[in-house]
A and B are shown apart, each in its own frame.
Chain A
Amino acid sequence: MTIMHSIQDHQVRVVLKGDLDLKTADPLREALDKLCERYRDRNIVLDLAEVDFIDSSGLGVILGRYRRLESQGRTISLAGVKASVRTVLELAGIDSIITIVEAGRGRFEAPASK
């Protein structure tokens, strides 16, 4: 799994690439916790545009971070969710808890040329 982040406005945008399962749950949890600590005044956006698979191990990491941020008055939202991933999110009821940004919204814009 590849995890990259950037800062946009007041948000930390985390781009994930790969499957979210038992193998990747621990490194993802560790990476997100570090970002939550480092950027204490920012919300998190998880970009899942390059995530083709998620199971309950991956969902657990996301929900755990949501609970942690919520207790601090912050939010985590999901962007670029593919249909196969959305099916799992909906079955778990995550879509009624965590905001899912529709495709094309909240995407990074190219930095202005100097």
Chain B
Amino acid sequence: MNRVHLRFLSLADNVGLARVSVAALAGQGRFSLSDIEEIKVAVSEAVSNAIIHGYQRRTDGWVELDLELDDAGLTIVVEDWGVGIEDIEQARQPSYSGDPERMGLGFVFMESFMHGLEVESTLGQGTRVQMRRLANVSGELSRDAQ
């Protein structure tokens, strides 16, 4: 059992910081390298959403990352105090994006690469995304073999 709490500004540079932090913690658990790559994508999407949508690219907002690793898996919470999401179900649909250069796949990747996704949001107050990735024994073996 291990827990990590990070609080960082809504800077694009911090997306990578969040990824590296999660990967380091996941490396302590029963995850294969490919598992960890998928977890990194999910975290990258959640933190990017907080910066782009939550804070609308403002760089003075706070993003919090809570990680909890146990024998059964890894729980990740990404929270911002930005503008919030008006319609969560719509936001979770593929190709939903206010930006033509973005693909609206953020939540799709989170759902596909994780084993559970919960989104809570209040307009004007912020958004909380909780994801869980279950551990696997084969992953531990393959990691030990590295």
Is the A/B pair a real complex?
A: yes
Question: Given A19-B16, A22-B15, does the pair A91, B112 have CB atoms closer than 8 Å?
Answer: yes
Could you tell me how many residues of chain A have their Cβ less than 8 Å away from some Cβ of chain B? 21
Could you tell me how many residues of chain B have their Cβ less than 8 Å away from some Cβ of chain A? 26
Chain B hits for A92, CB < 8 A:
103, 105, 108-109
A-B contact count (CB 8 A): 67
Contact of B109 among A29, A83, A91 (CB under 8 A): A91
User: How far apart are the CA atoms of A68 and B103 in the complex, in Å?
Assistant: 15
Verify if A45 is at the interface (C-beta below 8 Å from B).
Answer: no
B48 engages A21 (CB within 8 Å): yes
A88 engages B13 (CB within 8 Å): no
Verify if B89 is at the interface (C-beta below 8 Å from A).
Answer: no
Q: Mask for B72-110, Cβ within 8 A of A = 1, else 0?
A: 000000000000000000000000000111111110110
User: How far apart are the CA atoms of A32 and B48 in the complex, in Å?
Assistant: 22
B103 engages A56 (CB within 8 Å): yes
Chain A hits for B106, CB < 8 A:
56
Residues of chain B at the chain A interface (Cβ within 8 Å): 12-13, 15-16, 19, 34, 37-38, 40-41, 44-45, 48, 51-52, 99-106, 108-109, 112
